[in-house]
Amino acid sequence: MSDKSSSNAMWGGRFASGPDAIMEAINASIDFDKRMASQDIEASRAHAAMLAKQGIITNSDADAIREGLLTVLSEIEGGTFKYSRALEDIHMNVESRLKEIIGEPAGRLHTGRSRNDQVANDFKMWVRDQFDAAIQGIDALTAALLDQAEAGADMVMPGFTHLQVAQPVTWGHHMLAYVEMLARDKSRMIDARARMNECVLGAAALAGTSFPLDREMTAAALGFDRPSANSLDSVSDRDFALDFLSAASICATHLSRFAEELVIWSTVQFNFVILSDRFSTGSSIMPQKKNPDAAELIRAKVARINGSLVGLLTVMKGLPLAYSKDMQEDKEQVFDAADSLMLALAAMAGMVADMTPNKPVLEIAAATGFSTATDLADWLVRALNMPFRDAHHVTGALVKMAEDGGVDLPDLTLAQMQTECPEITEAVFEVLGVHNSVASRTSYGGTAPENVRKQIARWRKEIG
């Protein structure tokens, strides 16, 4: 076998031309960064307009560039654009096609900029769009949760700690817990979006440029609040992507927690909720099965999103200023995480809108496990002025009595209760039912139906 044949065999059929093909494959990013085509073209059109306004290029060249870029965009959106890996990335693919369309003026577009500031700016614009999409997805899921909360404001269910029945709560209160989580997710995304909203164009390769650019004009045209202040930081910063991944990871964790509850609640053993057929599947062998696949897949999405966050953190951890080619590994992580988060939000919103709580089962479950024991202890404190530790002891003794008798606390007679505490009166039974229990929890943030309705009204106003 010749040396050439041996070399080619080493690379395999996929890289028949040897090391040059390997280098093209590892260097090219067009296979994934073409997702930023519209952002790239929008930024280039703004850059061209600014160059003309500053007298750096002629108005006629700027007009030709801007019109030619719209033609390129229409080809991309129409699916007729031919991408080339030899041209490496979306920037060079667009510029090459622009030159074919308008000729020599295309070469003036790159005046006063570098691919370093160009890619950072395109990526910022793309991530900014994902923040906006995620916020809309959160609002849609929040609206579905509020509908469930309103329908179940008075519906009782068990509240758990350690997955053991603890105290009765309302279905509406439980739904609102996830509204609160999502509100924090939305707040994180709004905050991160505001922090990242600085235009990078004009930072050039790393040191700025000698051309008299109007960076404020470009920033305003692209919806940024201001231009970035340090050229070295501008081209090497990927905090905005890490912020997105971090916020996405926390949001996905919240979705995963709810998905876990839906998986548990939809089991035959719990039977708390009925998921619609739209978000469930059957078994290929067991005809009786109805599997909560959408919830399970949402639960798994957090692993991908967390992996993307750790991946990009690891890429960025050891990079000296300013730009390094390592940063090409930033986009696929974020693209995948964004896709996963948007899908999970949409699926959860659909599941929540369609699910039906099993009211009779929830009410029975709410009354099990001596769930009103704390209400009894609180009554002893309020009505008899008993120290809480003493009330805790008396209640524990009454729970043991009920447990030994195979009954729940409300089933004990007054005479039985008075054997432990003679001062107990008939009034104690007013707090022992699960509906009485939840109605009494009127402290701010408590589960009382009146609280739930006030919170629903507040959140509906908040999300418009």
> Whole-angstrom Cα distance, residue 170 to residue 434?
10
Q: Say how far apart CA 348 and CA 255 lie, in whole Å.
A: 7
From residue 378, alpha-carbon distances to 170, 339, 389 in Å are 19, 49, 11
**Is the separation of the CB atoms in 8 and 20 below 8 Å?**
no
Q: Which residues are catalytic?
A: 162, 283
List all residues 6 or more positions away from 363 whose beta carbon is below 8 Å from its beta carbon.
155, 156, 157, 434
**Residues with Cβ within 8 Å of residue 221, at least 6 apart in sequence:** 46, 49, 50
CA dist., res. 277 & res. 281, Å (int): 7
Handedness of CA 113, 116, 119, 120 (dihedral sign): negative
Distance CA 302, CA 403 (A): 42
The burial class, CB within 10 Å (0-12 / 13-18 / 19+), for 443 is: exposed
For the chain, how big is the Rg over CA atoms in Å?
31
DSSP for residue 412: S
State both tokens at 163.
Answer: 């997955």
Show the tokens assigned to 197: 């909203």
For strands 198-199 and 226-227, give the pairing: parallel
Instruction: Judge whether 163 and 368 are in contact, CB under 8 Å.
Output: no
Cα–Cα distance, 350 to 357 (Å, whole number): 15
Query: Would you state the structure tokens that stand for residue 108, as one six-digit string?
Result: 């003036």
- Specify the amino acid at residue 150: E
Nearest in space to 258 (alpha carbons), one of 272, 240, 247: 272
Alpha carbons 384 and 314: distance in angstroms, whole number: 61
Task: With both helix axes pointing from N to C terminus, report the angle between 59-78 and 90-102 in degrees, rounded to the nearest 10.
Answer: 120
Answer yes or no: are the C-beta atoms of 192 and 238 closer than 8 Å: no
